[in-house]
Amino acid sequence: MQIKSGFSLTYDCPQPTPMLLTLNIHPSRRVDLLTPQLLSFSPEVEPWEYLDVYGNVCTRITAPAGQLTISTEFELYDAGLPDIVPLDARQHDIRDLPDETLIYLLGSRYCETDELANIAWNLFGQTPPGWPRVQGILDFVHQHIAFDYQKADRTRTAYGAYIDQTGVCRDFAHLALTFCRCMNIPARYCTGYLGDIGVPFNPDPMDFSGWFEVYLGGHWYSADARHNEPRIGRILMARGRDATDVALSTQFGPATLSSFSVTTYQMPDPIGQR
């Protein structure tokens, strides 16, 4: 299938403000592009890109005083298959984990493994290791947190989500991946596009989506506590320890997000194709 995606963000800056952006799709998905995916700036600024330590494409700019609009639009090929559910994927012993996965067992800014370790072992200590344990965590978090855009809080941590029992997709992801880390399963945060493909249409305004990946059986697998079902059409933008590492923008000075829109949808099949 073909998916069309994009966004438009407008920032108001009272003075020239350096910014760090994580708004490009992940290098692993660039092979699937059917049209270029480039960031556009109005007014024009001079951007430069680099790969961060997690392999994400980051963009550095200096936003001018006044309004700056950042946008992109692109088309991408997707296999149209739902997320893999690795029912038989085994959980590795700590000593057998690759070195590069160990950072995803540790606590981070939004994922307080120290606060949640005892809770995790009390809740999931009797679950079978491997994917059944991940599924048990997904089921619990899916039921424990009530999704509510009005209750979004960019400072809420995984422990805060456990206590508040409300939040948005990043809160579901933070709590579930922290529980996984507490249970010795490497887990990393993901952000990207996820449209209403293969599911009932949602009339709410579209947003970027947050989910996570777990390392089992020698591979990373997508997991999504908010939806708690395999989904079609994820387009990865960035991965990291938590939302801090994949923030859409980091401003080194005053800046206000004044306009925000995201689109992603399946394009109609070309005539003569099914």
Cα atoms in the 13 Å half-sphere on the side-chain side of 261: 7
158: Cβ contacts below 8 Å, ≥ 6 apart: 110, 111, 112, 115, 116, 171, 174, 175, 177, 178
| Per-residue tens of pLDDT for the chain, all 274 residues | 999 999 999 999 999 999 999 999 999 999 999 999 999 999 999 999 999 999 999 999 999 999 999 999 999 999 999 999 999 999 999 999 999 999 999 999 999 999 999 999 999 999 999 999 999 999 999 999 999 988 889 999 999 999 999 999 999 999 999 999 999 999 999 999 999 999 998 888 899 999 999 999 999 999 999 999 999 999 999 999 999 999 999 999 999 999 999 999 999 976 545 4
What's the CATH number for 2-79+248-266?
2.60.40.2250
271: Cβ contacts below 8 Å, ≥ 6 apart: none
What's the CATH number for 94-240?
3.10.620.30
Could you check whether the bond before residue 43 is cis, i.e. omega within 30 degrees of 0?
yes
Distance CA 141, CA 146 (A): 9
Please report, as a single letter, which amino acid is at residue 42. Answer: S
- The domain locations on the chain are 2-79+248-266, 94-240
- For 176, the 3-state DSSP assignment is helix
